[in-house]
Structure 1
Amino acid sequence: MIADIGAEMQPSAPPDIAEEFRTVLKAIETSASRLKTGAKARDVVDPVYGEQNRSAFDAVDTYDCGAADG
């Protein structure tokens, strides 16, 4: 569900956060695709919580989109 909503939002991502936004979506999609029989917990968790994508998640988490302005 998060990946679907994010995919719809992706074209409207502000240019200064677009790359990080795409990285976060890809990590979520990768994690979701690994939710299957025989998968190890690390296979599912690392794309979202591992260090490789941490800076992108931090950037998206702290981005001020101006929502408080309206």
Structure 2
Amino acid sequence: MSLKHLTLALAVTGFGVLAGCSSPSVVHKSDGSQVITPDEPQYNKKSGMYEYDQDGRKVQINKDDIKSIEQIN
């Protein structure tokens, strides 16, 4: 195996490990309900919404409807 192939294999493995690291979170909403997300929701300043992917769909929650976001360890 050449150095070029070894470097490529290590890079692909590294990206795979990073992709597997998610930050599941609990979103506590103002109405008292909770939503568990597979990744930490990202805030979109343009829309004023928090966004995350759930089952292959983009889900948005208005920032005014969120009381807090807590990471699950």
TM (norm. structure 2) is: 0.28
Structure number, greater radius of gyration? 2
TM (norm. structure 1) is: 0.29
Which structure dedicates a bigger proportion of its chain to helix? Answer: 1
